Amino acid sequence: MRVLLAEDDELLGSGLKAGLGQHGFAVDWVRDGVAAERELLAQQHEAAVLDLGLPRQDGLDALAAVRAKGVRTPVLVLTARDAIDARIQGLDGGADDYIVKPVDLGELAARLRALVRRAHGVPTTRLMLGEVALDPAARQVWRGDEAVELSTREFDLLQVFMLHAGRVLTREQIEQHLYKWGSEVSSNAVEVHIHNLRRKLGPELIETVRGVGYVARRWTTP
């Protein structure tokens, strides 16, 4: 799952990026409010973590600007423990949640997963696609009652299809969801991962829309 991190503190930012990476997130890191606004407007991330005290442009101003333009990407703001007014301003200004510094990485990851589920209208912790179930927190997958072992990239790709079930995704869109900035992506990487998912979870799981992309059509919740 690809997320945006807007944090100007180098030590905190590097720690959050590494920690979220260990929880299965692909993190793009920006260090000022202007860059945060630009990347949020691009709408290439499932969620964003936004520090309010950013240089060049305040985080609240960046958030207000993108909400005014209709961007609905879930945003979680970082606040100091005693900054109650900042939390209220953030939530009233369009933030979906907040977390208090110092940040517990497990809690941050769980809050991000919950924000993404809510944004996609998923009321349960497990995602379902036909007989396939996926647990984002445990990073486990089942086909019926049988656990299925997937590679990291296969898991991430399956999660993308489940979150966007019913929507045709181009290869470029899939790559944007899977890979952070600067990642080297081979020309047939997406096709290879889709082939492996079909082999492990059933050929009917993901359909090819000729000349356009791929779609997962069947969507149910337990």
Give the count of beta carbons closer than 10 Å to the beta carbon of residue 117.
Answer: 18
Which pLDDT value is given to residue 221?
Answer: 44
C-alpha of 168 from chain center: 18
Which domains are seen in the chain, by residue range?
2-119 (3.40.50.2300), 127-215 (1.10.10.10)
Q: Looking at the chain, how many residues does it have?
A: 222
User: Mean pLDDT of successive 10-residue segments in the chain (222 residues)?
Assistant: 93 94 92 96 92 91 94 91 79 91 91 89 78 88 92 90 89 81 71 93 91 77 42
- With contact defined as beta carbons under 8 Å apart, do 89 and 63 qualify? no
CA atoms within 13 A on the CB side of 212: 9
What is the pLDDT, as a whole number, of residue 164? 86
What integer pLDDT is reported at residue 158 of this predicted model?
93
**pTM value > 0.75:** no
pLDDT at position 55, please? 94
SS in 3 state form for 140-207? EEEECCEEECCCHHHHHHHHHHHHCCCCCECHHHHHHHHCCCCCCCCCCHHHHHHHHHHHHHCCCCCE
pLDDT at 220: 45
For helices 10-22 and 105-119, give the axis angle rounded to 10 degrees: 70
Q: For residue 192, what pLDDT is reported?
A: 92
